[in-house]
Amino acid sequence: MSSRTFTKKDAARALREAHGGISLDEAKELVEAILEAIEEGLVRDGEVKIRGFGSFEVKLREARVSKHPRTGADVHIPEAQVVRFRQSKMLFAKMNKGL
């Protein structure tokens, strides 16, 4: 596995290479539009499913009390909505191919 992180710019370059007729700026706009659509779907519906890739789901993380690592003092962590990702069976198979 590579130590390099795949970025939005990398996604735009890959999109441009896959569809040679568009510029890098157009590819960046498309990547941004896709990410915005996912964000909007999560805010509106609480779930976004992309067949063959996986699903994003909004979950409520309950409030809890934890310990400060240095002092050991109790720290209250408030409840928050978090996004959970579950990969599809197809993605799981691709990720684990050859292991």
Q: What is the DSSP string of 25-89?
A: HHHHHHHHHHHHHHHHHHHHHSEEEETTTEEEEEEEEPPEEEE-TTT--EEEE--EEEEEEEE-H
Tell me the per-residue pLDDT of 18-71, one tens digit each, with 9 for 90 and over: 988 899 999 999 999 999 999 999 999 999 999 999 999 999 999 999 999 999
By the 8 A CB rule, do 27 and 16 touch? Answer: yes
Q: What fold, for 46-99?
A: HU Protein; Chain A (4.10.520)
Is the pLDDT at 86 greater than 80? The verdict is yes
Domain(s) labelled CATH 4.10.520.10 in the chain stretch across 46-99
